[in-house]
Amino acid sequence: MSIAVILQAAVDALSRDPDAGVSEIAKVAGVGRVTVYGHFPTRADLVAAALAHAIGQAHPGLEDVDLTGDPRAALTRLIESSWQVVDRSRSLLIAAQDVLPPSRILDLHAGPAGRVGKLVERGRDEGVFRTDLPAEWLVGVMHSVMHHAADELNAGRLAAGQAATYIAATVLAAFRPPAG
Amino acid sequence: MSIAVILQAAVDALSRDPDAGVSEIAKVAGVGRVTVYGHFPTRADLVAAALAHAIGQAHPGLEDVDLTGDPRAALTRLIESSWQVVDRSRSLLIAAQDVLPPSRILDLHAGPAGRVGKLVERGRDEGVFRTDLPAEWLVGVMHSVMHHAADELNAGRLAAGQAATYIAATVLAAFRPPAG
């Protein structure tokens, strides 16, 4: 039971302040620091688990996105919904970027990335997405562009209302077959 | 004089080991730790300065890239040369990602990004690059895709010989006008 409470406390505290420490997270969870360290030996372990927890919580919402029909329209819908999640989690994402290597952050997104991957494969089968680059690369490009938008928003160089449009316009163009 | 020596030592040490500490860098520079801390109050300051130094060193080579003619061919040449620099600096880039926020790393690339920006503007004027997204966003997308390739190479998911081709194919498609 205490692990779920600690993870929710970590998500809440890091969503308010990306520099929230283990003591503060323990306080929010109503447990001692020793209890937290018993489950998560380092702050990086706790941040990684909090990110995984937040991604898991977003899963049902993203599962509801209709991915049938034109793969391009489906990808646009998925980008819009995924962006809402990334935007809400920007502070947590900063915390993760501070302590985890980019490839570890990408790995923690394996769940949502798997859904994007299936849609990419269908779009390739239907001839609307390119096949001259690996599907895994295309999924990674979408992830990078989305997190780039989060970084630009954090830096005050992008308005929240523009992000999903920019991401979709960029990713759909990047996915188009070269001759298309 | 000692600042230049310390910066070169930091580039060398971090290029061998992204976790190289201030003591090791001081040793390579042949100075004491106190001297290093006199110029760079924290390891993050030193890593940022080392990245800026490495980017500055790469500048003359990138300046030599011919950016005249078809903007798409010019961008491909610039991506190929820039990738050589990024690939050589992957270990230093990991060190920077560990201690600096993504927007700070992007800011440190203002020099090379300025050159990409000029080429993007010319390509937009000539109608071969899109104008429905800001030039600054397009430059940032190229930066993200290039660093994504470095992360994938570090994670063993991409072969060194494929990277420049994947980056150019992705970025050129992302820059194409929507109707093109």
Q: What are the domain boundaries of chain B?
A: 43-175
Q: Which residues of B touch A94 (CB under 8 A)?
A: 101
Q: Which residues of A touch B151 (CB under 8 A)?
A: 101-103, 106
Tell which of B104, B144, B158, B167 to mutate to test the A interface (max A CBs under 10 Å). Answer: B144
Residue B151 Cα to chain centre, angstroms: 13
User: Quick one: pLDDT at residue A59?
Assistant: 86
The verdict on a CB contact (< 8 Å) between B173 and A170 is no
Lowest mean pLDDT among A89-93, A97-101, B49-53, B136-140: A97-101
The residue count for chain A: 180
Q: How many CB pairs under 8 A join A and B?
A: 90
CA distance A1 to chain B (A): 32
pLDDT of B1 higher than 80: no
Among chain A residues, the shortest Cα distance to B155 is held by: A103
Distance separating alpha carbons of residues B169 and B146, to the nearest angstrom? 12
Query: In the CATH scheme, what is the homologous superfamily, with its name and number, of domain B43-175?
Result: Tetracycline Repressor, domain 2 (1.10.357.10)
Q: Which residues of B touch A171 (CB under 8 A)?
A: 174
What residue has token string 């290039």? Answer: B146
Q: Residues A9-45: pLDDT tens digits?
A: 999 999 999 999 999 999 999 999 999 999 999 999 9
How would DSSP label each residue in chain A? -HHHHHHHHHHHHHHH-TT--HHHHHHHHTS-HHHHHHH-SSHHHHHHHHHHHHHHHHHHHHHTS---S-HHHHHHHHHHHHHHHHHHTHHHHHHHHHHS-HHHHHHHTHHHHHHHHHHHHHHHHTTSS-SSS-HHHHHHHHHHHHHHHHHHHHTTSS-HHHHHHHHHHHHHHHHS-TT-
Share of chain B above pLDDT 70, in %: 98
The verdict on a CB contact (< 8 Å) between A132 and B98 is no
Distance separating alpha carbons of residues A10 and B1, to the nearest angstrom? 46
The verdict on a CB contact (< 8 Å) between A155 and B103 is yes
Average pLDDT score, chain B: 92
User: Quick one: pLDDT at residue B160?
Assistant: 87
Q: Residues B89-119: pLDDT tens digits?
A: 889 998 998 888 888 888 888 888 899 999 9
Could you please state the CATH topology (level 3) that the domain comprising A47-175 is classified under.
Tetracycline Repressor; domain 2 (1.10.357)
The verdict on a CB contact (< 8 Å) between B144 and A140 is no
Q: Which residues of B touch A98 (CB under 8 A)?
A: 101
Find the CB nearest A133 among B132, B137, B169.
B169
Q: Residues B69-86: pLDDT tens digits?
A: 999 999 999 999 999 988
User: Quick one: pLDDT at residue A1?
Assistant: 56
Q: Which residues of B touch A101 (CB under 8 A)?
A: 94, 97-98, 151, 154
How would DSSP label each residue in B125-177? HTTSS-SSS-HHHHHHHHHHHHHHHHHHHHTTSS-HHHHHHHHHHHHHHHHS-
The verdict on a CB contact (< 8 Å) between B102 and A97 is yes
